[in-house]
Chain A
């Protein structure tokens, strides 16, 4: 087998083997593998001229469209790495990210309003797609990129109010793609339907297997998840065979009751990840699609998408939680207790990960990097990096790990990883707000904000809309004259939880 060093080699090989097959379908466009390769070379040539490089970050304001994927691949062609950002993100948040990141260039869609800023060369994807490719330039750029160099960087919520950029390498991405395609038995005959936005790494689980195998990837319109009947019809019409989705999308479809009306007719495989999988949802799917294979995946963005997997090979009762299973190929999971020692079976420990997929770290965040990526405490002999996920888990008698909870203020809300601290920082930044505390009601999947200040709930949400993405807006706002405090003058969170969250 040929040694793959750059993820673009997947696209190049598929374009040679299956030039006319549809690679991507989404938004207004549909591109064959050869068209996608050509487009990425055009965009890559334009980006290289703009950004210099190699190995510089290029921001891409993307949408669920084939052209946006071509732009991401174009950035890789230029020898740089892409930073996918939601094009509809609140402008203040975008400005804050761009100011910290200082990308070498920015790609956007023609439809977006954009005021050029000094020091940030920007280009529309449409213009870039019209550029004449320069093969020699692209070859020299590609030659300069090592497999240990970054392919992409994804922003995730940060507890101090500033999002963190997680740097992911070509090597990690290749390692992951090889594991995913083999463990799920994906082939070029599969048709994949990506549900996740491109700035969310679940999309990586569809795009790169598609490129490697020469399988068609459909980018599903967001609207389909509001109207599940239309979603199932789309899957059936396009003979989608594999759903590699976030757990929250899987749950949403299960809860919609759509299967009582229509069932998927071509799906043979369903893999979910990103949140705890409850058996109740799984059982709804299994009743509708009894012959499909089901997988539960687990992993924070820092390990290159996933580090554990469980092939669901037995029945679970409705109230049960499905395990996250065992480590992926070329990964090791360690459960470490508070003393940094391996947790005994049944004992709770922090899930720590070793392996090639570990991110080099957070961009421009040396302290946060060294806090999360640490020396393996079980190996005193030579550098051996371990990523501390902050997730707590336990091992059952069969050696399968089950996720229990978070160690800190990080939550999973509608499938998104959010730090409550980031919301609190934003709330406190609103004029007229004093102190604020955010709580998460896990059962109801609602963020509750209790605050002191002059604004009512609606006024506060309106103000927050320009700072936070929609998914991070509190669902319930409660204004109080004064927050309860403990003896040290700190806000008494435990009391607030008792008061505002019905945990019974």
Chain B
């Protein structure tokens, strides 16, 4: 989880990833950020994320992203 938090805060400094639960719905993460985050996750965690995983509900919170990574490792 720490590694994920590092990726998130480096991509979007100043966002409270511990608390936010509507990262997509509130427009906090933009497509640019998603692209960066997804490629960092694949690099750092060595998991394959595919187009089926790219759904808003998987990116609304750090928790949801973490669940996604765990389900693919």
Please list the residues of chain A having a beta carbon within 8 angstroms of any beta carbon in chain B. Answer: 222-223, 225-230, 252, 256-258, 260-261, 414, 458, 461-462, 465, 470-471, 475
Contacts and interface: CB of A to CB of B under 8 A. Distances in A.
A257 B35 CA distance: 13
B52 interface: yes
B44 interface: no
A227 B56 contact: yes
A405 B59 CA distance: 37
A462 B13 contact: yes
A319 to B, nearest CB: 22
A460 to B, nearest CB: 9
B51 A223 contact: no
A414 B10 contact: no
Interface of A is mostly: helix
A260 B55 contact: no
B13 A461 contact: yes
Closest 8 CB pairs of A and B: A226-B31, A226-B34, A225-B31, A258-B51, A257-B51, A461-B13, A462-B13, A227-B54
B14 A470 contact: no
B51 A256 contact: yes
Contacts of B32: 414, 470-471
B20 interface: no
Given A226-B56, A230-B55, A261-B51, 18 more contacts: A222-B30, A222-B31, A223-B27, A225-B31, A226-B24, A226-B31, A226-B59, A227-B34, A229-B52, A229-B54, A252-B35, A256-B51, A256-B54, A414-B32, A458-B10, A461-B13, A462-B14, A470-B30
B59 to A, nearest CB: 8
A227 B29 CA distance: 12
24 contacts: A222-B27, A225-B31, A226-B30, A226-B31, A226-B35, A227-B34, A227-B56, A228-B51, A229-B51, A229-B52, A229-B54, A230-B56, A257-B50, A257-B51, A258-B51, A260-B51, A414-B32, A458-B9, A458-B10, A465-B13, A470-B30, A470-B32, A471-B32, A475-B36
A435 B55 CA distance: 42
Contacts of A470: 30, 32
Contacts of A261: 51-52
Which of A226, A462, A471 is most buried by chain B, counting CB atoms within 10 A of its CB?
A226
A226 B52 contact: no
Nearest to B32: A414
Contact of B24 (A223, A461, A465): A223
Interface residues of B, number: 20
A223 B52 contact: no
Which of A223, A258, A261, A475 is most buried by chain B, counting CB atoms within 10 A of its CB?
A223
A470 B32 CA distance: 9
A313 to B, nearest CB: 30
B41 to A, nearest CB: 14
Interface in B21-39: 24, 27, 29-32, 34-36
Contacts of B35: 226, 252
A252 B32 CA distance: 10
Given A222-B31, A470-B32, A229 B10 contact: no
A206 B51 CA distance: 27
A316 B54 CA distance: 30
A465 B34 CA distance: 18
A223 B31 contact: yes
Given A257-B50, A458-B13, A229 B55 contact: yes
Contacts of A252: 31, 35
Contacts of B13: 458, 461-462, 465
Contact of B54 (A226, A465, A475): A226
Contacts of A260: 51
